[in-house]
Structure 1
Amino acid sequence: MRQEKVVSVLRQATADGVLGREHPVAGFIDVQGVRESVTALHEAFAHVPDVLHAFAVKACPLVPVLRLLAEAGMGCETASPGETRLALAAGFAPGRIVLDSPAKTRAEIQEALTLGIALNADSLAELDRVDALRPPGSRSVVGLRVNPQVGGGTIAAMSTATPHSKFGVALDDPGARERVLEAFLRRPWLTRLHAHVGSQGCSLPLIARGLAVLHRLAEEIDAYVGRRQITSLDLGGGLPVNFSDDTVMPTFEEYVQVLTDTEPALLDGRYQIVTEFGRSLLAKNGFTAAVVEYVKHSGGRRIALTHAGAQVAVRTVFMPDAWPVRVTAHGPDGRPKTTPPVPQDVAGPLCFAGDVVAHERLLPELTEGDLVVLHDTGAYYFSAPWAYNSLPRPGVHGFLHREGRTELAPVRTPQTLEEVVDESGSSHATALLSGFGSPGS
């Protein structure tokens, strides 16, 4: 995101009071940027006759953002009952929602099959549940997730096609492929295949190899059952995001080209294609801003204590090499600081020593009241806060630049301390003292 856009938002946010003394940390979403990213995705797949682009809700579980994406022509991918409720609340039609999860309950499965939500079974055991719960005439597309076992990327926790991944049916395990073929033979209504190699830390060739396995398996299944049964392929996962600067790379066009080069028939129109992008659509269209509360020195190192730590950047704090964020320094009015850079830690407010989002980062000397910006945090950061230390969830605001000025709109109201207390069981405050029945009751 261009610096002038960030500065304009900061100046408006501090003027409006949504960032500052009363609200020392906040998230911001670029509405036009989100629309442009969705357009770029659709244009990259424009030559594919039938595509459902399903946004991965976990990347930004905020109803106004989901509504924006729905209006822009996206579908929705969910992985829990809560995410499914968010998708429905945002206005996604059930037929444009895809439910993925490795641990779906019978209630989740029944709800999806009743509403007509598409469902990808994560195991053969889950297919047995679908057999028992699938109502006559269900409109749900049902698929099976397989693990192509093509290996992992540079971040083990983000790699889902490793030999021991918890996701999907591991195709290379002894007897697994035969059991998959039989599962489709017995279920003519099982018409979709799903695979997910990973996103951050995974190269495009690695992702493409896994999806090529999916395509070849579809052809193998059709040959085995003796009919055209597989009608759609769910290309799960997303793209890695470049967090080092504002350049968008890889692009959706580059992704499509690598898929085509690796498996030319994958996107030829024989199958409906489903995608599940999340981070690559939202990350660069959002940022987090926080107030510097104190500055101190420890062991000769300068430390700026801010209100943006692991509660909004948990992955960065615990895995800084895998999830680095760019940080810029701004004055209290949002203008960039221009003093000579010095190495300093940018730390958060949480009560553990590792709560640091940037170590020895060269930045203009931060002082009390300044602002720091964490860039590229539109996905998985302020939208999925960590409740450590019972800090309130920060407010999130959308922004548009129109007619020479920046306009802000509320996305999520900042949580109040009273709401933190309510959420923590205050209505049951005496339950452990007097809330139990008499012995033997």
Structure 2
Amino acid sequence: MDHFLYRAGQLHAEDVSVAEIAAAVGTPVYIYSAATLTRHFRLFDEALGETPHLVCYAAKAAGNVAILKLLGDLGAGVDVVSIGEYLKAKAAGIPGERIVFSGVGKTRGEMAAALEGGIRQFNLESEPEMRALSEVASGMGAVAPVTIRVNPDVDAKTHAKIATGRSENKFGIPIAKARAAYAEAAALPGLKVVGIDVHIGSQLTELAPFEAAFTKVAQLTEALRADGHDISRLDLGGGLGIPYERSNSAPPLPVEYGQMVQRTLGHLGCEIEIEPGRLIAGNAGILVSTLIYLKEGEGRDFLILDAAMNDLIRPAMYDAWHDIVPLAEPAPGVEPRPYDIVGPVCETGDTFARARPMPPLTEGDLVAFRSAGAYGAVMASEYNGRPLVPEVLVSGDQFAVIRPRPSYEEMIGRDSLPTWL
């Protein structure tokens, strides 16, 4: 469920007309619903019930400081994968004891900064990283709380570019080597083992892969405890998918996920950490764009928008589907026509949809890409000299720009000329 609905024939974000925001801010523009973000966080929080837990929102999905503050004020922790995300979380007022640092390539500088600023735990991904953190922490006279990310070799049955739990993926330590890795971590100065980390991929639409991975984690927990390790936390990552295409069947609900977590891991008495990103932010955001031209081609017609692959790269990178709807609700019985929906970037890959049935549109009409809140604005670039797309947050009947569109002067001003030119 989201809070982007037609009212009196016009698409609204909560109680604000989307067309009103587009007129004030321009297009393309990302618009987020605070009510949807709140609802989705609470669904996850409630799904884990009385089990001791912390929902650590994955900042990589949509990392605007305003979004992080909204969720942090609700009690969320944050999962970060860079010191930049860490500093954003701190700027949003989230304390270090609610920040988890993941990622396969943490630098020593990032480790030191997180230790100095406060951290709940580091999720370690390799033995070399483990040794580096030990050296950094020892040099600072600190002790770093750590989990080790294990790779359970489970096929998440998702897109190859977002699968992370198979043996050929770069993430984590093979689960068969986990006991040796934990033995080394326990012997290193500056580290304190607190739990196990696992994350098998993103946009999972069934629970079976999670259950297979968590069953392996339960077995590993018991083995590590037998080896003398104090395993008190289980970080289960994120990955639960959202229904991008409204006509398709919906992925499992958070409550069903929570029941599965309890069934597979509840007997261990561990605190549970989860790191949802897409399910919290995905349906909480739309990308609004203006139709520039309607072009008739040879055997196909094109809708050319002012949004492009640099604003929303998911279709080009992942062959991803987004429902695309006009801001003005089509009249009942209107016959759609197939169009290729494209952007102005000089790449054939700058294509959002092919032969997509759309109602009649004219130049200047506005359309919205649904389910664009996750991995949209955070992956945007200035390719083709196009300024970064702005972001807007709506709450009830008010809205605010939470990241402005830079001017061309600001964009160009970030470049500098060497003295010899």
> Which of the numbers 383, 387, 390 marks the counterpart of 2:385?
390
Q: Which amino acid aligns with 1:311?
A: N
Q: Write the letter of the residue equivalent to 1:392.
A: P
Distance in 1 (alpha carbons) for counterparts of 2:376 and 2:179: 41
Is contact 1:51–1:272 with CA below 8 Å preserved after alignment? yes
Q: Cα 1:113–1:22, aligned 2, differ >3 Å: closer, same or farther? A: closer
Q: Which position in structure 2 is the counterpart of 1:126?
A: 129
Check the 8 A contact 2:115/2:137 in 1, yes or no: yes
CA 1:184–1:359 in 2, change beyond 3 Å: closer, same or farther?
same
2:295 match: 296
What SS does structure 1 have at the residue aligned with 2:49?
coil
1-structure distance, mates of 2:378, 2:137: 34
Q: How does 1:41-60 map to 2 (within 5 A)?
A: 41-48=44-51, 50-60=52-62
Deviations 1:13-42 (A, max 9, x none): 433xx4249722111111111111111111
Q: Which of 407, 417, 427 does residue 408 from structure 2 map onto?
A: 417
Q: Which one of 308, 324, 331 corresponds to residue 327 of structure 1?
A: 324
Match of 2:154 among 131, 150, 155: 150
1:22-41 superposed matches below 5 A: 23-41=26-44
**Which of 246, 258, 261 is equivalent to 1:259?**
261
Q: Decide whether aligned partners of structure 1 residues 202 and 171 sit closer, same or farther in structure 2, where only a CA change above 3 A counts.
A: farther
Q: Which residue identity is paired with 2:276?
A: F
1:359 to 354, 358, 372: 354
Conserved? CA contact 2:158–2:201, under 8 Å? no
TM-score, length basis structure 1: 0.87
Contact 2:313 2:379 in 1 (8 A): no
Cα-Cα RMSD:
2.3
**Conserved 8 A contact 1:122-1:144:** yes
The Cα shift of 1:267 comes to: 2.6
Q: Which runs of 5+ in 1 are unaligned?
A: 435-441
CA deviation map 1:142-197 (0-9, x unaligned): 1111111123423111111111111111123xxx2442242254257212211111
Distance in 1 separating the partners of 2:26 and 2:118: 42
Quote the Cα distance in structure 2 between the aligned partners of 1:201 and 1:280.
Answer: 10
Cα distance in 2 for partners of 1:127, 1:22 equals 46
Unaligned runs of 5+ in 2: none
Q: Letter of the 2:324 partner, please give it.
A: V
Q: How does 1:14-413 map to 2 (within 5 A)?
A: 14-15=19-20, 18-20=21-23, 23-48=26-51, 50-117=52-119, 118-135=121-138, 138=142, 140-172=144-176, 176-187=177-188, 189-201=192-204, 203-225=206-228, 229-245=230-246, 249-261=251-263, 263=264, 266-268=265-267, 270-320=269-319, 323-330=320-327, 334-336=328-330, 339-401=334-396, 406-413=397-404
Q: CA deviation at 1:140?
A: 4.3
Q: Is the contact between residue 243 and residue 325 of structure 1 (CA under 8 Å) also seen in structure 2?
A: yes
In structure 1, distance between residues paired with 2:204 and 2:253: 15
CA distance in 2, matches of 1:382, 1:177: 36
* Aligned residues of 1:158 and 1:201 also touching (Cα < 8 A): no
SS at match of 1:305: strand
Q: Residue by residue, what CA displacement relative to the aligned partner does 1:100-123 show, whole Å, maximum 9, x if unpaired?
A: 111111111122223331211111
Q: TM-score, normalised by structure 2?
A: 0.91
2:17 aligned with 1:12: yes
Q: Distance in 1 between matches of 2:76 and 2:250?
A: 20
1:438 aligns with none
Aligned equivalents of 2:331 and 2:387: distance in 1? Answer: 28
Are the counterparts in 1 of residues 148 and 182 from structure 2 also a CA contact under 8 Å? no
CA distance in 1, matches of 2:336, 2:34: 32
**C-alpha offsets along residues 381-419 of structure 1, whole Å, 9 cap, x if unaligned?**
134313211211122111133xxxx32122211221112
**CA offset digits 1:184-228 (Å, max 9, x no partner):** 542572122111111214632102211221222121111012xx5
Change (3 A) 1:309 1:315: same
Answer with 1 or 2: which has the greater Rg: 1
The percent of aligned pairs where both chains have the same amino acid is 26
Cα distance in 2 for residues equivalent to 1:39 and 1:241: 16
Q: In the superposition, relative to structure 1, how do residues 267 and 419 fare at CA in structure 2: closer, same or farther (>3 Å)?
A: farther
2: distance between equivalents of 1:224 and 1:8? 57
Post-superposition CA distance 1:287-334 (Å, at most 9, x none)? 1110001111111311110012212221212332xx20101123xxx4
Aligned partners of 1:150 and 1:161 also within 8 Å: yes
